[in-house]
Structure 1
Amino acid sequence: MNNKSIWTVALALALAVGGCKTQKGKLEFEKPESGQKVLLGEQLKLKLNFSEAAVDSVIYSIDGNILERKKDTSAVVLDTQKVGLGDRSITAKVYIAGKEDIAYSNVVVLPPSAKNYGFEVVNTFPHDDKAFTQGLQYEGGVLYETTGRTGESSLRKVELQTGKVTKIVPIGDSYFGEGMTIIGDKIVVLTWQDNVGFFYNKNSFEKTGSFSYGNSKEGWGLTYDGQRLIKSDGSNLLYFLDPTTGKEIGSIGVYDENGAVDSLNELEYIEGKVYANVYQQEIIVVINPETGAVEGRINLVGMNTENRQPVDNELNGIAYDVAGKRLFVTGKLWPKLYEIKTVER
């Protein structure tokens, strides 16, 4: 290569480097870094690296909602308590002489660390080891239970002390039964992938109605907080349903200090919190249904080890005796139902 060629290549490289530097100087956020994790309630500074003196306006938005309008590019503060948990998209639109430039970032807002609990077994009761348990509730001295598997799914009434099934109806040969809950004189039952739930009369077990799912296309767990049905679908979302019609009216994401908590399954509403077992884990998480924050984590490893199989034998069933303040848990095809007491670690 001759000297002229060398200088030509060198000049091209210099121009390329200069071009990269120009690109790096485009409008972008200096703070926060994209994907940064922040604690709920933290005051987060939003600052652009843009130093152009004369701007017409800057509009900062969170998830498409305007946070603040300014006449310069000085920093603004985001109160994360007001935006809630989860992945939050941040934009800044800068207008100069009628032209628009946009900077993007995002943060993940997370709750404080959850409390960790172990357990003590207070009592054990017989449980039908052929019951593929999906939903469980204690009321009036007895257990109500739904079981799964297509062609075997059922709604049951069970004696606590003996495990004896005193009433049973099939959910339907084509349905895979899932979670259930009680509202007054009716029982609400989910199916898994059929996009339909059913209402039953609590006393006769007669099917009285049905409803279709909304954005949540699968049925996993179900509970009732006195005003709303709360439904899970195996994701990190809890869905709120109208208790009369079953129509979906909202949802909230569930997060712990590490991020989204997926595989939420069977649910129970206990003293203002939602207890949810995590599918294929020996864990129950305690969720604040107003914020989606996991406030507690109950580790049940070692509670039931007798002849356990790696699949189709999972923890899946939470019930609560409101009057006696007793917590019951069982699982798919488990021969026992356990009354437990949680122990903070």
Structure 2
Amino acid sequence: MTVWRALPAALVLAASTLAGCAAPTPAVPVWHPQVLAERPHDPTAFTQGLELAGDTLYEGTGLAGRSQLRELDPATGAVRHAVGLPGELFGEGITVVGSRIWQLTWRDGVALEWDRATLRLLRQVRIDGEGWGLCSQPGAGRLVRSDGTDRLRFHDPVGFVETGSVRVTLDGRAVPGLNELECVDGQVWANVWPTDRLVRIDPADGRVTAVVDASGLLDPSRRGGTDVLNGIAALGDGTFLLTGKRWPATFRVRLGP
């Protein structure tokens, strides 16, 4: 089953804006991922969030009634432990905050707090709007959430109270469809739905500072039955893991000039 979301005019504009990045201004470079290695990925996983913490790769998956929070072996992609979300909740982005893991839901209006050691659900917290991507900025004392619009929303990491937001722009134009997030060195990386592009965002003012064109990362012969690129995890050595919904592989890549 593939979940289809209707494309509002703003998303069509965003896709065309990103597609037009082949001739960027000098301030906004376009990079292609340099593939360093390929690792297996569960092709049944409707990937919504991906994050490495310690020696464990955490993955949040979606689809109503089938959503999970998973612990993976980062070297092999094997599932070490998985728990289902309650009822029909549709899981979205995840992030690790100390001994806890926060997980968004799409349109259910709640964020889930899990115990990291046991993957035991601790509580559900109400949120306004949709949940798409999530990452943590410990230095700023906040979480960053995307909701499918052109805004990044900031939350307190303890109570998940929203504390502010910023509009994301590329060359002065809004970039909606912000999806899975990864916070790295003060910047926010975001998948842009429904493209195979990523953007690097300065959360101080919302400006896109780089675009990554990952089209072709998964060979077209292997794209049958898959969905869009969605999943980015920083490895701490300047490289990242990239994957997608129902992709059979995860790629270790370097992003940059």
Using the size of structure 2 for normalisation, the TM-score is 0.86
Distance 2:191 2:57 in 1: 18
**Bigger RCO (CA 8 Å, 6+ sep):** 2
Give 2:223's aligned residue: 308
Distance 1:160 1:244 in 2: 27
Give 2:16's aligned residue: none
2:28 pairs with one of 88, 97, 114: 114
2:161 paired with 1:252: no
Alpha-carbon distance, 1:119 to partner: 1.7
Alpha-carbon distance, 1:258 to partner: 5.0
Kept in 1, the 8 Å contact 2:238–2:254? The answer is no
Kept in 1, the 8 Å contact 2:66–2:88? The answer is no
Distance 1:231 1:342 in 2: 22
Identical residues among aligned pairs (%): 37
Distance 1:151 1:140 in 2: 29
2:136 paired with 1:224: yes
Alpha-carbon distance, 1:112 to partner: 7.9
Aligned CA-pair RMSD: 1.5
Give 2:89's aligned residue: 175
Alpha-carbon distance, 1:118 to partner: 1.2
Distance 2:213 2:222 in 1: 20
4+ runs deviating over 4 angstroms: none
Quick check: which has more Rg, 1 or 2? Answer: 1
Alpha-carbon distance, 1:309 to partner: 4.3
What secondary structure is seen at the aligned counterpart in 2 of 1:244? coil
Distance 1:148 1:288, change over 3 A: same
What secondary structure is seen at the aligned counterpart in 2 of 1:328? strand
- The one-letter code matched in structure 1 to 2:69 is L
Distance 1:156 1:319 in 2: 14
Give 1:331's aligned residue: 244
1:128 pairs with one of 39, 42, 62: 42
Give 1:79's aligned residue: none
Distance 1:263 1:113 in 2: 22
Please show how residues 35-114 of structure 1 align to structure 2 within 5 Å. Answer: 113-114=27-28
Cα displacement string for residues 206-234 of structure 1 (whole angstroms, at most 9, x for unaligned residues): 111221113xx100000001110100000
Kept in 2, the 8 Å contact 1:211–1:247? The answer is no
2:184 paired with 1:270: yes
Kept in 1, the 8 Å contact 2:239–2:255? The answer is no
Distance 2:208 2:224 in 1: 28
2:95 paired with 1:161: no
Cα displacement string for residues 156-206 of structure 1 (whole angstroms, at most 9, x for unaligned residues): 000012211011100123111000000000000000000100100000001
Distance 1:326 1:343 in 2: 10
2:148 pairs with one of 229, 234, 239: 234
Distance 2:50 2:194 in 1: 17
Give 1:193's aligned residue: 107
